[in-house]
Amino acid sequence: MLFFTRSLWRVSEGDVSRSRYTGYNLLKITIQTIKCFIKDRIWIRAAALSYTTLFSVIPILALLFAIAKGFGFSNLMERLLRGSAVENNTMDMVMTFIDNYLEYAKSGVFIGIGVAMLLWAIINLADNIESNMNAIWEVKKPRSYFRKLTDYLALFIAFPLVIILYAAISIFMTTVYQQLAEYYFISSFVHICIKLAPYVLSGLIMTVLFIFIPNTKVKFRNALIPGMITGFLFQAFLYIYIQIQMSVSSYNAIYGSFAIIPMFMLWANISWSIILFGVEMSYVSQNIEQYNFGQEVDNVSRRYHDFFCVVVMSLICKRFEQGGQPYTANELSDDGEIPIRMTNRLLDELEEVGLIYGFSADAKSETEHYLPAIDINQLSVARLLSTIESHGCEDFKIDHTKEFKCQWDALVSHKQETYDNTCNTLLKDL
């Protein structure tokens, strides 16, 4: 048990062979994804998204059908939608809702209101999806309203085209399978491809969403495997859900036509949990190095915290004095042999107290570089430590001028004596 909780997270790339290090990383990604899934309470986020989806599903389907109709493929979209449903009467009800919604959106004086409601429903759902993915990725700045409108509409316009392309490929492969039925090996291979096609397509769609939706740079290699795993789980659950819905006839008898609502909410809740689990996996795989030495970082001593601050500031000051390229967080982590999570925490703290400032090399880059915020010829170890120690609120009712004057004077005297005797060395000279 100690291996999974501590030893595993202390393994560096140079400690073991490359293949074993890759295996350890996969194990760490799996463990940390489950931890983050529980810590971030993903099931609550999924429930909120399910509620929003319930109100947005008809407007979204209406938009998709309107786009497909514009390309002349509305019948194909309807056939695909009916093929994924269990009961025709349920789909008849859904198609009636879609037709009524489109009719309302384009009718007379209500055309502006109808289109506005349709766009609001779509953007509201997409905005909720982005907000949840940004929260998982720890992104504080969402897209601008203009980018939301353009990006989300582009995504919804592209989606029916992908579905149509998938349907065309499926029809082609089915035709080939029928024509090659007498050739056992070839037909078997084509049959397997037909069965796997929905899983592959679902995985590719999830990969695109994992890259496109969060308002940050997601690397393709860190989205592909989580996306394919999520797509497989999504399709597998859809198959199980359809089988369950077919077998629970008594449930439909109790709820009648309203059975579609609780069943849809169940499907949406579990589906969103699967998708957000994939987002967590994508985030963890791209930032797995941040979780190394996790227990140590969370319980770092005050002495080592100050020591790391001195190391980071001395590296930044010396690089600045030499006229070199300003440090990034990853470079400081590598040169100082400090866990990246600890390095990021220290950089945020040093920037907050005004000792350094971070900037991006260009507008498109998300990587920050760090420079000293004050004259390096005045930045000593004593000034660094005193600035860190005095930062924060000291406005409490405790009386350090009378009742607890001795304790306060003893602390200040000890600190000042330490700074005067040993801490006047400039950080750039260490």
pLDDT digits (tens, 9 = 90+) for 181-194: 666 566 676 667 77
Choose from 30-44, 62-76, 96-110, 383-397 the range with maximum mean pLDDT: 30-44
- Tell me the pLDDT tens digit for each residue of 136-172: 988 877 787 788 778 877 777 777 667 666 666 666 6
pLDDT digits (tens, 9 = 90+) for 294-310: 778 888 898 899 899 99
Which band of pLDDT confidence, cut at 50, 70 and 90, is reported for residue 76?
A: low
CA 101 to chain centre: 33
Q: pLDDT band at 46, cuts 50/70/90?
A: very high
* Mean pLDDT value across residues 21-34: 89
Mean pLDDT of all residues in 166-179: 64
The CA distance from 419 to 411, in Å, is 12
pLDDT score recorded for residue 14: 75
Mean pLDDT of the chain: 79
Looking at the chain, the whole-number percentage of residues with pLDDT higher than 90 is 19
Rounded Cα distance, 319 and 313, in Å: 10
Q: Domain 294-429 adopts which CATH fold?
A: Arc Repressor Mutant, subunit A (1.10.10)
Q: What percent of the chain has pLDDT over 70?
A: 74
Amino acid 33: pLDDT: 92
Please give the Cα distance from 425 to 91 (Å, whole number): 77
Comparing C-alpha atoms, which of 17, 19, 40, 21 is closest to residue 29?
A: 21
Question: With bands split at pLDDT 50, 70 and 90, how would you rate the model's confidence at 285?
Answer: very high
Region 100-124: mean pLDDT is: 63
CA 34 to CA 46: how far, in whole Å?
Answer: 15
Mean pLDDT on 65-90: 62
Q: Residues near 134 by Cβ (< 8 Å), separated by ≥ 6?
A: 140, 142, 214, 215, 216
Q: Are the CB atoms for 360 and 368 separated by under 8 Å?
A: yes
Question: Mean pLDDT across the stretch 311-327?
Answer: 92
| Largest interatomic CA distance in the chain | 99
> Residue 17: helix, strand or coil by DSSP?
coil
Tell me what pLDDT residue 184 has: 57
**Can you give the pLDDT at residue 109?**
46
Per mean pLDDT, which range of 203-207, 276-280, 339-343 is the poorest? 339-343
Q: What is the pTM of this model?
A: 0.75
Q: Structure tokens of 53? A: 């989806």
Contact 213, 130 (CB under 8 A): yes
Highest mean pLDDT among 11-15, 223-227, 360-364: 223-227
Mean pLDDT of 349-378: 84
Helix/strand/coil for 293:
coil
Continuous H helices in 40-144: 42-70, 74-83, 88-105, 111-136
In the numeric block, the tokens 């996996």 are attached to: 281
Distance of CA 289 to the CA centre of its chain: 16
> Given a cut of 70, is residue 106 above it in pLDDT?
no
Beta bridge partners of 328: 369
Between 410 and 90, the more confident residue is 410
Flag whether pLDDT at 386 surpasses 90: no
pLDDT band at 311 (very low <50, low <70, confident <90, very high): very high
Tell me the residue type at 286: Q
- Given pLDDT bands bounded at 50, 70 and 90, which one contains residue 75? low
User: Mean per-residue pLDDT for 331-335?
Assistant: 89
Residue 179 pLDDT > 90: no
Q: For residue 211, what pLDDT is reported?
A: 92
Is residue 202 within 8 A of residue 232, CB to CB? The reply is: yes
